[in-house]
Amino acid sequence: MHPRKCRLRGASFVAFASQCALANAQDAPPKSPPPAAPPVAPAAQDDFSKALDQELGKAPSTANPAKPGTPAAVDLPGGAQLKLLDISLDVLASLAGSTERSSEMQNLQLGDHDPNRRGFRLNQAELSLQGAVDPYFTAEMHLVTSIESDTGDTGVELEEAFFTTSALPYGLQIKGGQYLTEFGRINSTHPHAWDFVDQPVIFGRVFGGDGMRSPGARVSWLAPTSWYSELIVGVQNADGPQMTSFLGNADTTFPGGQVQNNRELRSGGDLMYNARLLQSWDTGDSVVTQFGMSGAVGPNAAGASTGTSILGADLKIKWQPPKNDDGWPFVIWQTEALRRNLGSDTQAVDPDGIPASGDEFTAPGGTTHDTGGYTYLLWGFERDWIAGLRYELVTASGPSAFPREDDPLRDDRQRISPLLIWQPTHFSRVSLQYNLDFADHLSHDASSIFLRIEFLIGSHPAHKY
């Protein structure tokens, strides 16, 4: 589904909610954006007020009274309903085997929620809340719990919490809060929305194990073209544990071996700025093509005044016949490539902080480059069954304090991943994936196999197409 089908662009808030319901049932984008929205009609505000009164127990439900303990709802045209709050729980669990030990698997599986150890793992349990604030705003929160592979400790983090506007005219929308940066196709989505069970290697190197995200705001514009055309421009804090290519935090180590310098926010130049352009068009009734370009620039802490730039491009083509069985059959080809340019100063590094202890080294300055990407095919060959094949390639260049072929985050790597998915309903999915890794830091090729199960309780926001 295209991003933000649920934008208010009709004549009223009722039309907006009806559009949201339709977006949850469709997997293809509109052929052209609808006209810009006029001011919200008073009737829409009245409908929202009725729903709010029902939620607070001040008024009886209309045609479909809510069950005890569930959000109130108002009937909308076409049988849709507007809910003030949807709650869902999405759980990912896996069983993994590998020719490598669990400690080495964590150098191969760079995603924080990947199956990165032998045996069983709770990859994550995500609690999501989303709903309408009023006729002008919606809001979402995603709280993620997982068990750390190396320590067994339970970790809880607020992954996202943000608002989006729903009534701006001229195709505009504003989003603000803590959110995943809209860069490419993978970074802005959660692991349960990925087709494969693990994060691509280049994303782990460039964006870290949990994706690039930070507090900030962005504005998007849906252009009035005959095809889908969207421009996003945003600004976010450049520091924090999820901003590993920028200011990062005290634990951040940069590609050349440099350690984090103490750089604080002094001006607008110390923030991270990003942009994304997404184009989509239909070819006949069976093929939808999307092409996107993304960029991000900002300071990093590998020097006193150094910076980072990241560029990306992505392509997705989906074939699906007009007459299908709940979406089957289909074929998807998706490709994405990234390049990071990270500047650094020459540094004298003392890892243990004890002078003359023998572990001191000099990290050379300059610009390091990390380049890579993935391409994959998915084939929905029979109702509820999907087969896939992915290929990944990553490389790096530039100055480094250590031999690049010995560094799991800088060596040349290739990966081949066949995949089989059984998805009996929209609320459960079982994936079987095999990874064959060719990495310079390994003395031999590595084979890993993963069995992952996902189940969903409640109503989750529709995934992006």
What confidence tens digit (pLDDT) does each residue in 110-159 have? 999 999 999 999 999 999 999 999 889 999 999 999 888 777 889 899 99
* 73 pLDDT higher than 70: no
- Is residue 57 domain-shared with residue 94, that is, in the same domain? no
Residue 365's domain comprises 85-121+195-208+245-458
- Is residue 423 domain-shared with residue 281, that is, in the same domain? yes
* 425 pLDDT higher than 60: yes
- Is residue 96 domain-shared with residue 68, that is, in the same domain? no
Rounded Cα distance between 200 and 336, Å, is 10
* Residue 64 pLDDT level (bands cut at 50, 70, 90): very low
Rounded Cα distance between 218 and 180, Å, is 11
- Is residue 100 domain-shared with residue 21, that is, in the same domain? no
Q: State mean pLDDT over 259-275.
A: 89
Please give the model's pTM, rounded to 2 decimal places: 0.83
- Is residue 61 domain-shared with residue 200, that is, in the same domain? no
* Residue 199 pLDDT level (bands cut at 50, 70, 90): very high
Rounded Cα distance between 28 and 253, Å, is 42
- Is residue 300 domain-shared with residue 435, that is, in the same domain? yes
- Is residue 316 domain-shared with residue 431, that is, in the same domain? yes
How many domains are there within the chain?
A: 2
Please indicate, yes or no, if residue 164 is contained in any of the structural domains.
no
* Distance separating the N- and C-terminal Cα atoms of the chain: 3
* 183 pLDDT higher than 80: yes
Please count the other Cβ atoms lying within 10 Å of the Cβ belonging to residue 102: 15
Of 30, 59, 84, the residue that ends a domain is 84
Per-residue model confidence (pLDDT) at position 116: 92
Higher pLDDT, 421 or 403: 421
Of 84, 112, 144, the residue that ends a domain is 84
Q: What percent of the chain has pLDDT over 90?
A: 66
* 46 pLDDT higher than 80: no
Per-residue model confidence (pLDDT) at position 12: 41
- Is residue 11 domain-shared with residue 95, that is, in the same domain? no
Please indicate, yes or no, if residue 136 is contained in any of the structural domains.
no
Per-residue model confidence (pLDDT) at position 205: 95
The DSSP secondary-structure symbol of 169 reads: S
Q: Which residue has the tokens 């180590």?
A: 253
Of 56, 84, 112, the residue that ends a domain is 84
- Is residue 14 domain-shared with residue 102, that is, in the same domain? no
Q: DSSP strand E in 190-329: where?
A: 213-222, 228-237, 271-283, 287-299, 307-319
* 288 pLDDT higher than 60: yes
Rounded Cα distance between 2 and 408, Å, is 35
* 85 pLDDT higher than 90: no
Please indicate, yes or no, if residue 3 is contained in any of the structural domains.
yes
The DSSP secondary-structure symbol of 259 reads: B
Per-residue model confidence (pLDDT) at position 263: 80
Please indicate, yes or no, if residue 142 is contained in any of the structural domains.
no
* 20 pLDDT higher than 50: no
Crossing angle of helices 42-55/13-25, nearest 10°?
A: 70
Per-residue model confidence (pLDDT) at position 45: 55
Per-residue model confidence (pLDDT) at position 290: 98
Rounded Cα distance between 176 and 110, Å, is 28
* Residue 401 pLDDT level (bands cut at 50, 70, 90): confident
- Is residue 202 domain-shared with residue 63, that is, in the same domain? no
* 9 pLDDT higher than 80: no
Closest CA to 221 of 162, 278, 296: 278
* Residue 60 pLDDT level (bands cut at 50, 70, 90): low
**The two structure tokens encoding residue 415:** 């990966």
* Residue 353 pLDDT level (bands cut at 50, 70, 90): confident
Name the 3-class secondary structure at 46.
Answer: helix
Higher pLDDT, 205 or 71: 205
Please indicate, yes or no, if residue 161 is contained in any of the structural domains.
no
Per-residue model confidence (pLDDT) at position 123: 93
In tens, the pLDDT along 212-266 reads: 999 999 999 999 999 999 999 999 999 999 999 999 988 888 988 888 887 878 8
- Is residue 89 domain-shared with residue 59, that is, in the same domain? no
Beta strands at 172-180 and 73-75: parallel, antiparallel or unpaired? unpaired
Closest CA to 82 of 24, 31, 158: 24
Please indicate, yes or no, if residue 430 is contained in any of the structural domains.
yes
Closest CA to 288 of 296, 279, 297, 280: 280
- Is residue 292 domain-shared with residue 403, that is, in the same domain? yes
Mean pLDDT, the chain, rounded, equals: 85
**The two structure tokens encoding residue 388:** 């896939």
Q: DSSP strand E in 80-195: where?
A: 81-83, 86-98, 119-134, 137-147, 154-165, 172-180
Please indicate, yes or no, if residue 35 is contained in any of the structural domains.
yes
Please indicate, yes or no, if residue 5 is contained in any of the structural domains.
yes
